[in-house]
Amino acid sequence: MKQIDKLKIKFNYLDDLEIPKDIEKSFKKDWSKFYKNSKKNYYSKTRRVQFKNFLKRIKKQKIDKDNFKKINIKYISPYMGYGVFAKENIPPYKILNQYTGILKLDKKIGVNNNSTFCFPDFKKYSIDGKKQGNWTRFMNHSHKANIIVWEFYDKERPYIIFTSGSRGIKKNHELVYSYGDLYWREEDNI
C-alpha cells in the first residue's frame, strides 16, 4: 500500500468493515431485526449477484488489488485534503470498492468527524473511516458526481458500494460522489 503509506496522516488500511467486540452482539441483533422488517429490494437479481461476487472476491483477496491499481490518492489543498483520481479510463457502472472503517454507534461519533458514512434507513450505526478504512474514504463531494453510491443490504450486514457512473471516469479525473443533503445540513449545524 505504497500510496497509503505516503499520506501525511495516520491511517490504517482495512479490507473490510471492522465491528468492535463491545457492540458486535447488539449490532447483530439490531441488524437481524432491521433486515427481516426491511421490505426494500432496490436491486435487480443481476446487480445483487454482481455485488455478492464482488464482496466474495474482496474477502478472498483481502484487498481489492485490481481496482486499487486504477486509482491514485493525491493531496489537493488544506481545505479539500486528499482526493482520489483515475490512473486510467474506468468504464461505466464498474464496481470499484466498498466503504470500510470501524462500525460505531451514532451517539459515539464526534460532531467533527467528517469521515463517517451513515445508513439513512438503519440509523443507529455508522461507518467511521477517519483513521481506519480504505481508499474510498478519500473521495470528495461534487454535485457533478461520477460515482454512484449503493446501499447493499445483505443478511449479514449492510454494505456501502461504489460504482462508476453512466459515463464512466476519464483518466486523471477525480472520483467524486454526492454526500447527500443530510451531510450538508449537519455541517451547517456544527
Domain range spanning residue 51? 2-189
Q: Give φ, ψ of 166 to 5 degrees.
A: -65, -20
pLDDT at residue 190, rounded to an integer: 35
Task: Please tell me the total count of domains within the chain.
Answer: 1
Whether the per-residue pLDDT at 46 is higher than 60: the answer is yes
Whether the per-residue pLDDT at 35 is higher than 50: the answer is yes
Asked if residues 129 and 99 have their Cβ atoms less than 8 Å apart, the reply is yes
Average of pLDDT values for 38-67? 76
Whether the per-residue pLDDT at 147 is higher than 90: the answer is yes
- Burial of 171 by CB count in 10 Å (0-12 exposed, 13-18 middle, 19+ buried)? exposed
pLDDT at residue 63, rounded to an integer: 63
Whether the per-residue pLDDT at 74 is higher than 80: the answer is yes
Q: What is the CATH number of the domain that holds 22?
A: 2.170.270.10
Whether the per-residue pLDDT at 183 is higher than 60: the answer is no
pLDDT at residue 189, rounded to an integer: 38
| Averaged confidence pLDDT in the chain | 84
Task: Name the strand (E) or helix (H) holding 162.
Answer: strand 158-164
pLDDT at residue 56, rounded to an integer: 83
Average of pLDDT values for 83-95? 95
Determine which of 6-10, 83-87, 164-168, 175-179 has the lowest per-residue pLDDT on average: 6-10
